[in-house]
Amino acid sequence: MDLFVNLYQGFQISLTPINLLYCFTGVLLGTLIGVLPGIGPSAAIALLLPTTFRVSPVSAIIMLAGIYYGAMYGGSTTSILVNIPGEAASVVTCLDGYQMARKGRAGPALGIAAFGSFIAGTLSVVGLMVLAVPLSNVALKFGFPEYFAIMCLGLSIVSYLSQGSVFKSLLMAALGVSLSFVGMDVVVGKPRFDFGLLVLGDGVGLIPLLMGLFGISEVFLNVEEKTQAREIFQTKIKGLLPTLRDWKDSAGAILRGSGLGFFLGILPGGGALVSSFVSYAVEKKISKHPEKFGTGVIEGVAGPESANNAGAGGAFIPLFVLGIPSNVAMALLLGALMIHGLQPGPLLMQQHPEIFWGTIASMYIGNAMLLVLNLPLIGLWVKVLKVPYKILFPMILLFCMIGAYSENNNPADMLVMLFFGALGYLLRKYGYDLAPLILGFVLGRQMEQAFRQSLILSDGSFAVFFARPISSVAMALAIFLMVSALIPAFKKKRERIEAEKG
């Protein structure tokens, strides 16, 4: 019964008026920065961290955590409305969300994203509460070969992301992986592929890359089509909330997404982001109509959106239990704990239970606040579609610029973004999907590191990847998925060639 006593005390802390206010401020800011393309949760937390120095540590953590999971709620909005992910974890939501909006179903898409986020968010808090300690120990068992194998598995789902040619999406994934090599080589300690530019010293920034490829290129593409009437104008907006049918279609996706997101979120390095990709692939794989994915099916929104919210919850586990941050936002929260004179690590939960339980309880409240906050906003967001381009586009450009700059306060990042804007424009014009590129980019760095670390430990023997059960199963699965996706593609190509001959 310790659990309930602790939770009760947690609620006592988080239900005080001042903490409710901080929780509300956090989730509100989180929603807003999630909606603004470019300004990610980590930039916002970095910006607001210094303002929390004068408040009590638990209030500070409640607010900063609220920004983080609030941003996961808001992130889907621009993906659905204008095909620009509000933050990285919403890249996959563009695939079907934007298509739904084009069919006049922006409301249900936004609605299911909000409900899915709420359900997944709440489930992940339950998981966080019950499973935090045992799971963090499991995560530690993952050595370098296991990480590499899991990353391979992650990358093999590329073949399910493609809307057109499998080869094109593999090409994009390879480009993404190659881009991830830019920057400091941790093993040799030397910068590589950075053209001697200081801005590329840490590699290509995810935010400039994302905002360039999606945001800037979207603006370019639309400016080009300015003479044509905008499709969305003519489509009538049908309904603001998901129908019973929508609910039936997405219930399974939400639950599966929650589970996937929670467990993948625990692993270091963008768990929320990867889990949204995996969830999309799973939904497509088990769907009765996989061919409809990418044309605006609601499961394609419900699954990934649930996954990234659950992933946000899972990410707190290594932070609270071990004091190990699994992404940049968590590293900032770790900094916040230290600044408030707390020692993050295995003793935090014993020495300062009020921090852990107060934050957990506030996350229940915060998730409810987010739902209440987001549902009425759907009506407003849908109206964004009616804003004339001459106003909407300069705004998008401006926010992308601010977002790229504010991550590191480095003006050169805006140039990096413009470069990728031009690249994204060309790629999209020639029918290359961008989602596999992002997946490759995010996984590439960690995959390479885990690969090289494994080989250092095994003294160069590749057998290390098949030596232990977790890694061998994951490797086998990855190879199977890759081959099974490629064979039909090869077959189709051969048939076409033969047809052309005959």
Smaller CB distance to another protein: residue 130 or 187? 187
β-sheet bridge partners, residue 191? 184
Parallel, antiparallel, or unpaired: how do β-strands 183-185 and 190-192 relate? antiparallel
Among 449, 451, 474, 482, binds another protein (CB under 8 A): 449
Among 232, 237, 334, 371, binds another protein (CB under 8 A): 334
Among 20, 241, 339, 371, binds another protein (CB under 8 A): 339
Encoded amino acid at 31, one letter: T
Binding flag, residue 285, another protein (CB under 8 A): no
Question: What span, in angstroms and rounded, lies between the C-alpha atoms of 358 and 173?
Answer: 41
- Contacts of another protein in 201-220 (CB under 8 A): 201-202
Fill in the per-residue mask, 178 to 197: x = in contact with another protein (CB under 8 A), - = not in contact: ------xxxxxxxx----x-
In whole angstroms, the minimum distance from the beta carbon of 50 to another protein comes to: 6
> In sequence order, which ranges of 225-352 are alpha helices (DSSP H)?
231-234, 244-266, 271-286, 299-314, 316-322, 328-339, 348-351
Binding flag, residue 460, another protein (CB under 8 A): no
Helices (H) and strands (E) in the chain, counts: 23, 2
**Cβ atoms of residues 69 and 17 within 8 Å:** no
**Cβ atoms of residues 246 and 298 within 8 Å:** yes
**Cβ atoms of residues 57 and 341 within 8 Å:** yes
Smaller CB distance to another protein: residue 379 or 431? 379
Select from 49-57, 245-253, 254-262, 460-468 the region that touches another protein (CB under 8 A).
Answer: 49-57
Distance (Å) of CA 117 to CA 133, 277, 335, 410, 457: 24, 15, 27, 33, 41
Fill in the per-residue mask, 107 to 136: x = in contact with another protein (CB under 8 A), - = not in contact: ------------------------------
Bin 341: left if φ > 0, else alpha if -120 < ψ < 50, else beta.
left
Q: How many residues bind to another protein according to rule CB under 8 A?
A: 71
Binding flag, residue 149, another protein (CB under 8 A): no
How many Cα atoms sit within 13 Å of 164 on the Cβ side? 13
Among 174, 241, 335, 397, binds another protein (CB under 8 A): 335
Binding flag, residue 384, another protein (CB under 8 A): yes
Binding flag, residue 493, another protein (CB under 8 A): no
Binding flag, residue 477, another protein (CB under 8 A): no
Among residues 87, 86, 89, 108, the alpha carbon closest in space to that of 97 is found at: 108
Smaller CB distance to another protein: residue 292 or 452? 452
Question: What span, in angstroms and rounded, lies between the C-alpha atoms of 315 and 326?
Answer: 6
Smaller CB distance to another protein: residue 234 or 350? 350
Select from 77-85, 99-107, 246-254, 376-384 the region that touches another protein (CB under 8 A).
Answer: 376-384
Encoded amino acid at 309, one letter: N
- Contacts of another protein in 53-112 (CB under 8 A): 53-54
**Cβ atoms of residues 85 and 75 within 8 Å:** yes
Fill in the per-residue mask, 302 to 331: x = in contact with another protein (CB under 8 A), - = not in contact: --------------------xxxx--x--x
Tokens of 393: 């586009």
